[in-house]
Amino acid sequence: MNAVTTHRSAEEIGRTEVGPRPLPELGEQRAAADLSSVDTVLDNGLRVIAVRRSSVPVVELRLRIPFADPADTSVGSAHAARAEVLANTVLTGTATRTRVDIDTELALVGGELDAVVDPERLALSGNALVSGFDTLLDVLRDVLTGATHPADEVERERARLVERIRLARSQPNVIAREALQRHLYGDHPYAKEMPEADEVEVVTRDEVVALHAAAVLPRGSVLVVVGDVEPADAVRAVDGALGSWTGEGEAVALRPLPAVEGGDVAFVHRAGAVQSQIRLAGRGLDRTDPRYSALQIANLIFGGFFSSRLVENIREDKGYTYSARSHPEFTPGGAALMIDADTASEVTAAALLETRYELGRLSLVSPTEAEVDTARRYAIGSLLTATSSQGGLASFLVNLAGLGLGIEWFTGHPERLAGVTVEQVAEVALEFFAPSAFTGVVVGDADVLAPRLRALGGVALS
């Protein structure tokens, strides 16, 4: 390359007269400021968690309404389709506001509001300049208690949803996710994250309105407010705005899932794919389990951050992948451990072999003190950075609340992590990271993958 006419060699660049220098020690860590907060339940049954964080004049809001299919199986159930249309029309009109009114009023206070649904919950998330907090709450009240799901909006959103489902199902990660969920949970409603296009096409406005009346309920729901507001004032404002949101019964929580059991990996053919999706899953622990912190550290060591064994092996040593990771997924009544990697077709089987090797090694050979310490410090530090913004903290707290936990779990977690021993990590690793504890799917081109996967074994090729 002719960037300059003369330059040093790579070897010359890589050394100086002084030579290698010592890594500076860490300084004294200042504790995070105490967050003043209120965690209470309003008369209508809505749990409200309000936290003051005043770094910017903004308020963040996260509402979680349990929104599960009351049926035991997704087969023949229209719930997912109706819920999807509901989420896409809940912000499109009320008795007093049109879709454009809602957008305009929010925009003028620097605000936005968004609704998404999954098999577990309907989530309304938003924010605004703190001066517009009342407007944000009033719009929220209006859509919760008075959304009309206008017929023309239902019609348009239904048509658009069909197209968007098509778009989503063309993405390799979505194809892999759907295959994995079906493989793990079969017809359990948890596995149905996206309805079928033909189910959406037949959803009527009346069905959506009926679902809204029956299922958009304050009891069982939680609202998290984080921002430049006094928590008690925030709760008063929420009560004033949402006190009129009432309804019979309690929002529907998803029934517990069957635990993930190890077994063969299912193969999913995708013709012409130049890359494969490896998606493995095993059983995990929920955040309230006394062994959770040890499992969190074991997961980090395995594949939970960049300095993990999996990333160092299949990315930094062998170059099989750009992205590999493992992470917990909290599910109703439990948790799963997920392992994801996308690899070139030619090296997919080898990457799966190395992944199993790392699983076996972690479960059978105790990790070192240094590995545990690195993971522990990362867990504590990344909790601090991830929650150092209002939005990050609000999202973290609403997820905790969905598991029935509050801010004290968050503030107490660094201490729990500090107490984890190497022996405890080794113990949970043996049980939860055994290769035999995992199953999953591989999506890729069978022509390229089948001979090697067959040789490797443990993959069900049809």
Task: Kindly report the number of other CB atoms within 10 A of residue 279's CB atom.
Answer: 26
Q: Residue 87: exposed, middle, or buried by beta-carbon count in 10 A (0-12, 13-18, 19+)? A: buried
Contact 351, 452 (CB under 8 A): no
Give the H/E segment covering residue 381.
Answer: helix 369-386
Q: State both tokens at 29.
A: 């860590």
CA distances from 336 to 283, 372, 389, 397 (A): 4, 21, 28, 20
> Could you say whether residue 95 binds another protein (CB under 8 A)?
no
Q: Residue 213: exposed, middle, or buried by beta-carbon count in 10 A (0-12, 13-18, 19+)? A: exposed
Minimum distance from residue 375 beta carbon to another protein (Å): 8
> Could you say whether residue 306 binds another protein (CB under 8 A)?
yes
By CB under 8 A, the residues from 419 to 448 that bind another protein are: none
> Could you say whether residue 57 binds another protein (CB under 8 A)?
yes
By CB under 8 A, the residues from 30 to 49 that bind another protein are: 30-33
By CB under 8 A, the residues from 317 to 336 that bind another protein are: 317-323
Minimum distance from residue 263 beta carbon to another protein (Å): 27
Among 61, 102, 124, 339, binds another protein (CB under 8 A): 102
> Could you say whether residue 201 binds another protein (CB under 8 A)?
no
Hey, what's the torsion of the CAs at 349, 352, 358, 359, to 10 degrees? -140
d(CA 46, CA 50): 13
The DSSP code for 328 is E
Nearer to another protein, 190 or 267 (CB): 267
> Could you say whether residue 307 binds another protein (CB under 8 A)?
yes
By CB under 8 A, the residues from 372 to 391 that bind another protein are: 373-374, 377-378, 380-382, 384-385, 388-391
> Could you say whether residue 96 binds another protein (CB under 8 A)?
no
Q: State both tokens at 454.
A: 């067959």
Nearer to another protein, 170 or 462 (CB): 170
> Could you say whether residue 133 binds another protein (CB under 8 A)?
no
Minimum distance from residue 28 beta carbon to another protein (Å): 6
Q: State both tokens at 244.
A: 């009129």
Among 120, 342, 354, 358, binds another protein (CB under 8 A): 342
Minimum distance from residue 218 beta carbon to another protein (Å): 26
Q: State both tokens at 319.
A: 């170059």
Percentages of the chain per state (helix, strand, coil), in multiples of 5: 45, 20, 35
Provide the pairing of β-strand 112-117 with 121-129. antiparallel
Among 22, 76, 290, 457, binds another protein (CB under 8 A): 22
Minimum distance from residue 118 beta carbon to another protein (Å): 20
Give the H/E segment covering residue 419.
Answer: none
Nearer to another protein, 163 or 408 (CB): 163
Q: Name residue 104's beta-bridge partners.
A: none
Nearer to another protein, 139 or 252 (CB): 139
Nearer to another protein, 110 or 262 (CB): 110
> Could you say whether residue 55 binds another protein (CB under 8 A)?
yes
Number of residues that bind another protein (CB under 8 A): 97
d(CA 187, CA 73): 5
Which of 25-33, 210-218, 232-240, 423-431 is the region at the interface with another protein (rule: CB under 8 A)?
A: 25-33
Among 36, 41, 56, 261, binds another protein (CB under 8 A): 56
Task: Kindly report the number of other CB atoms within 10 A of residue 201's CB atom.
Answer: 13
Nearer to another protein, 20 or 457 (CB): 20
By CB under 8 A, the residues from 180 to 199 that bind another protein are: none
Q: Which amino acid is at 314?
A: I
Which of 36-44, 152-160, 201-209, 327-335 is the region at the interface with another protein (rule: CB under 8 A)?
A: 152-160
Nearer to another protein, 104 or 288 (CB): 104
Contact 108, 243 (CB under 8 A): no
